[in-house]
């Protein structure tokens, strides 16, 4: 019997305190992420902030999800000073970059969600808009006022992209909870945009999108773990399928 692919999920970290869950620092992540991976056929595993152990972890895993959170990647990574609205968690960013690099060395599937997509772009030489109200003022609220388990706006998928292949969609309804966005995807390709032109999904080049063969390195600005659009479940299923076929047979048996 083929085992479920082991999928690493990057965790957030909080400092703790007398009125918090713990008095000491602790890792945390919304249950939605774990449920979504399990429902898609994977076995989720939380990853601590240990850059030195990233290679060892990824050698035992079949795929990586770089999750989102209420923080921003350090703009020094793409040659800029911090915006006043930028909030850093350098320990988390260092660990996530190490996990991304290890996954790339091992040619394992990587799915980035929200801030995870932004960090994937940076890892491929891209840059960010540090505060979208400064760059994209308009009718679309990228930090939507309605609940996060509801759609905030549409995205338009690029025909022929890996994202379009897996979701079977030309447009999707997505939630939106970010104040930063990808300005330049670096060596990645744009696979979806919001109606105002903001990049909403990116992916690695060099993929046969008719068959799905090739590296699965894909990031989305929204949160597919909320399953707002039918394409979300298909995207996650495609990721798990890629993880199932990305590792040697003796590791999957």
Give CA 41 to chain center in angstroms. 18
**Catalytic choice (96, 200, 203, 225):** 225
How confident is the model over 190-246, as pLDDT tens digits?
A: 999 999 999 999 999 975 444 445 689 999 999 999 999 999 999 999 999 999 998
> Which domains, and CATH codes, for the chain?
6-252 (3.40.50.880)
What is the CA 44 to chain-centroid distance, rounded? 15
* Residue in 189, 68, 197 with CA at minimum distance from that of residue 129: 197
Q: CB under 8 Å to 77, separation ≥6 — which residues?
A: 93, 122
Tell the residue number behind the tokens 């990049």, with chain if given.
199
Residue 169 bears catalytic tag: no
**The pLDDT of residue 210:** 45
- Selecting among 49, 129, 153, 223, the annotated active-site residue is 223
- Quote the CA–CA distance of 173 and 182 in Å, as a whole number: 19
User: In this structure, what token pair is assigned to residue 89?
Assistant: 């968690």
- Any residues with CB less than 8 A from the CB of 132 and at least 6 apart, and which? 142, 178, 179, 180, 181, 198
Mean pLDDT of the chain: 93
Tokens read off for 97: 């970059």
Among the listed residues 96, 114, 178, 179, the single catalytic one is: 114
Is residue 165 flagged as an active site residue? no
* 3 state SS of 163: helix
Residues 5-19: tens digit of each pLDDT:
999 999 998 889 999
CA-CA-CA-CA torsion for 195, 197, 198, 202, nearest 10 degrees?
Answer: 100
Average the pLDDT over 158-168 and give the result. Answer: 97
Q: What is the pLDDT of residue 191?
A: 98
Helices (H) and strands (E) in the chain, counts: 8, 13
Active site residue 179: no
């Amino acid at each position: 019997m083929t085992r479920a692919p082991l999928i690493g999920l990057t965790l957030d970290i909080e400092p703790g305190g007398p009125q918090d869950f713990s008095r000491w620092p602790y890792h945390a992540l919304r249950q939605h992420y774990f449920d979504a991976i399990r429902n898609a056929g994977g076995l989720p595993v939380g990853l601590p902030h240990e850059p030195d152990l990233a290679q060892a972890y990824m050698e035992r895993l079949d795929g990586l999800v770089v999750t989102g959170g209420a923080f921003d990647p350090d703009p020094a990574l793409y040659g800029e000073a911090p915006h006043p609205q930028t909030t850093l968690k350098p320990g988390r960013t260092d660990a996530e970059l190490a996990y991304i690099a290890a996954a790339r060395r091992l040619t394992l599937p990587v799915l980035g969600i929200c801030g995870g997509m932004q960090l994937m772009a940076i890892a491929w030489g891209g840059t960010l808009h540090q505060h979208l109200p400064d760059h994209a003022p308009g009718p679309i609220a990228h930090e939507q006022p309605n609940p996060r388990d509801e759609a905030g706006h549409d995205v338009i998928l690029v025909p022929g992209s890996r994202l379009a292949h897996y979701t079977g969609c030309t447009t999707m309804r997505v939630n939106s909870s970010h104040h930063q966005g990808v300005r330049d995807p670096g060596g990645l390709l744009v696979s979806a945009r919001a109606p105002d032109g903001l990049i909403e999904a990116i992916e690695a080049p060099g993929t046969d999108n008719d068959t799905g063969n090739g590296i699965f390195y894909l990031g989305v600005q929204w949160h597919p773990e909320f399953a707002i659009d039918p394409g979300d479940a298909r995207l996650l299923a495609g990721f798990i399928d890629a993880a199932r076929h990305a590792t040697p047979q003796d590791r999957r048996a």
